Amino acid sequence: MNEEGALDLTQAGDGGVYFVDAADFPALTDAAEEGRLYVCRADLAGCRDKSELLRRLAIALKLPAGFGQNWDALVDSLRDLGWLHGIGHALLLDHANDLREAAAKDFDTLLGILHESAHFAIGQNRPFFAFLSLPEHPIAFPSPSQH
């Protein structure tokens, strides 16, 4: 947060993977857009496996038609999101629990890829945030009305 109490997503060193409540998405979207981050949102409701996850992420991230539909291709794509304009990127993944419950191994692999991507972006001094909505969330963000 900045000195006014607003959420600041422009600090590359704060990038990472965060579990949040879906109700936090509007404030996160506002903060990302205010910080000139490109916002990618994917709804994972009913997502049950890797192939469906990769399909939905490819759409949300506007990946090129030749996207390889595998984990390595996702890693490569998340390292270079240059076609998405902005000083950084915020991924909002709604209903992430559906994937976690249906395919725990795929969920864990996704988390590892997102963590690695955030670490890579930090090394480039580029903000990269992945917010996954889950029923239980360890952090809460202030709503815009709490300034």
- Structural domains in the chain? 12-139 (3.30.370.10)
Each residue's pLDDT tens digit, 17-58: 999 999 999 999 999 999 999 999 999 999 999 999 999 999
pLDDT > 50? residue 108 = yes
Among residues 91, 103, 101, which one has the least CA distance to residue 132?
91
Q: Averaged over 4-10, what is the pLDDT?
A: 76
The pTM assigned to this predicted structure is: 0.87
Q: pLDDT: is 1 or 103 the higher one?
A: 103
Query: What is the pLDDT at residue 33?
Result: 94
Q: pLDDT (tens digit, 9 = 90+) per residue, 78-90?
A: 888 777 777 899 9
* Sequence-separated (6 or more) residues with CB below 8 Å from residue 49: 102, 103, 106
